[in-house]
């Protein structure tokens, strides 16, 4: 099950979409909490609507083209996808 986590970071709000193991799949920052919540759930919906194709996870781990691996979906410019097996900004989930 994927989760959306919203946390306060200084003057902005950070959102993360995590898988069931706590690995960050996507993350971003917004100025307001409602905007961060909206973008987090929007990203979760996009991930769920694309679905997971066989071999897509292996292609991401090998560093192949992410767009072709996840069906050509492009993310917004303030959204980053975490490399497979790593977290963003040194954040280690509990």
pLDDT of residue 90: 57
Q: How far is CA 62 from the centre of its chain?
A: 18
pLDDT of residue 27: 92
DSSP category for residue 82: P
Count the neighbouring beta carbons within 10 Å of the beta carbon of residue 91: 12
pLDDT tens, the chain, 94 aa long: 789 999 999 999 999 999 888 899 999 999 999 999 999 999 999 988 887 655 555 555 556 555 554 555 555 556 666 665 555 555 555 5
pLDDT of residue 45: 92
pLDDT of residue 33: 96
DSSP category for residue 31: S
User: What phi and psi values does residue 79 have, to the nearest 5 degrees?
Assistant: -110, 130
Radius of gyration of the chain (CA): 13
The whole model's pTM is what?
0.55
């Amino acid at each position: 099950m994927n989760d959306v986590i919203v946390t306060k970071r200084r003057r902005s709000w950070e959102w993360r979409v995590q898988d069931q193991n706590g690995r960050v799949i996507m993350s971003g920052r917004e100025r307001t909490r409602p905007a961060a919540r909206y973008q987090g759930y929007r990203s979760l919906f996009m991930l769920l609507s694309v679905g997971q194709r066989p071999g897509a996870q292996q292609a991401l781990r090998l560093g192949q083209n992410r767009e072709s691996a996840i069906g050509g979906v492009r993310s917004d410019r303030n959204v980053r996808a975490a490399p497979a097996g790593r977290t963003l900004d040194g954040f280690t989930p509990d």
